[in-house]
Amino acid sequence: MEPGGLEWLLVPMQQLVSWGAAGAMVFGGVVPYIPQYRDIRRTQNAEGFSTYVCLVLLVANILRILFWFGRHFESPLLWQSIIMIITMLLMLKLCTEVRVSNELNVKRRSFAAADSKDEEIKAPPKRSYLDFDLNYFWHWSKFTDYVQCVLTFTGVTGYITYLWLDSSLFVETLGFLAVFTEAMLGVPQLYRNYQNRSTEGMSIKMVLMWTSGDTFKTVYFILNQAPFQFSVCGLLQVFVDIAILLQVYLYSHYPQKPVSHTAHPASTKAL
């Protein structure tokens, strides 16, 4: 068979591989959050998951989309950012609903067991985006407040990007901030586990997927001689992932007494 006779087969195969790689790039970043989402829905408890992870990914992907306007990169990476933003908003919606539902349950139990004065003290305050209280930032009672915050951040950064889009220094800085912010992805969960002195409620499958994905991505950066900041931020992500896995081992084999937050109940919430 002549070599040219295989072209009819090789070309479609190469196209399929290309489409598969693009699809994996677009949806691969969402996969780690599926087990965590299912765990929260099943247990109706979001205490073990830090929603600051959602905040980090929302900021990182919004900045990455704005970076695209200054320097066009591959379309799958752009679509990945859009899909990730939608996913993080869905995670926030679920966590907010679960937390508010649990607070209502607590109030109902206190209504049956305490007098009206105690009930009034225990009733959780409704926190709004418009409160502008740093102690309750990203701890709001309604999902719409998170959406308003994200839209405000997008509008402000989008306007600044529009004004400075002709500056190559600004565009490169924007790209670096997007990569560096994403590198900080695991830090909120790391701190969350440290606060709780436990990894209960956190999906270990999610962290394992983080680790494998970040390792593959970092090796890809190094082998393909990507910009230096990409490799450094990728290594940082891997180190944070490993630190979280070490927490899983430490807290499972050497259980520790959880830290009391009675002075500030809201600080114990994952939202």
pLDDT tens per residue across span 43-52 = 998 888 889 8
Identify which of 1, 93, 2, 95 has the alpha carbon closest to the alpha carbon of residue 46.
95
CA angle (19, 22, 27) in 5-degree steps: 120
pTM: 0.72
Give the number of other Cβ atoms within 10 Å of residue 219's Cβ: 13
* Predicted local confidence at residue 37, as pLDDT: 92
CB 200, CB 45: distance < 8 Å: no
Tell me, what DSSP letter sits at residue 4? G
pLDDT tens per residue across span 141-171 = 899 999 999 999 999 999 999 999 999 999 9
* Predicted local confidence at residue 83, as pLDDT: 93
For the chain, residues with pLDDT lower than 50 are 1, 106-122, 260-271
Query: How would you class 226 by CB atoms within 10 Å of its CB: exposed for 0-12, middle for 13-18, buried for 19 or more?
Result: middle
CB 215, CB 49: distance < 8 Å: no
Tell me, what DSSP letter sits at residue 141? S
* Predicted local confidence at residue 41, as pLDDT: 92
* Predicted local confidence at residue 154, as pLDDT: 97
How does DSSP assign 96-111, residue by residue?
HHHHHHHHHHHHHHHH
* Predicted local confidence at residue 110, as pLDDT: 35
Q: What is the residue extent of each domain of the chain?
A: 13-105+139-253
* Predicted local confidence at residue 239, as pLDDT: 92
CB 241, CB 214: distance < 8 Å: yes
